[in-house]
């Protein structure tokens, strides 16, 4: 399965902010398996999910490195 470039960035930001996968999942209202799969790059996160990750981690979505096309969806 294809690995997504965002995966290591999401993991790094989560750790930098001091969250475990479980804590991030709880704050987002998703299962920890979803966070794990996103961070491994085996699951593609849609724009809404990436936006929520950025919000919970206190980041601007651009900091995660989201492609411009997905960024546009966040603002709609």
Instruction: Look up the pTM and report it.
Output: 0.78
Overall size of the chain counted in residues: 76
The CATH class that applies to domain 6-74 reads: mainly alpha
Handedness of CA 22, 3, 15, 50 (dihedral sign): negative
The SS3 assignment for 68 reads helix
Q: Give me the residue label for tokens 């411009």.
A: 68
Q: What is the pLDDT of residue 1?
A: 41
Q: What is the pLDDT of residue 66?
A: 62
Would you give per-residue pLDDT tens digits along the chain (76 residues)? 445 588 999 999 999 999 999 999 999 999 999 999 999 999 999 999 999 999 999 999 888 876 554 444 444 4
Q: What is the pLDDT of residue 64?
A: 86
Give residue limits of the domains in the chain. Answer: 6-74
Per DSSP (E only), the strands in the chain are: none
């Amino acid at each position: 399965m294809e690995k997504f470039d965002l995966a290591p960035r999401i993991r790094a930001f989560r750790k930098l902010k001091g969250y475990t996968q479980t804590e991030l999942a709880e704050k987002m209202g998703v299962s920890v398996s979803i966070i794990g799969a996103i961070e491994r790059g085996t699951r593609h996160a849609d724009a809404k999910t990436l936006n929520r990750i950025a919000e919970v981690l206190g980041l601007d979505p651009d900091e995660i490195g989201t492609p411009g096309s997905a960024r546009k969806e966040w603002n709609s």
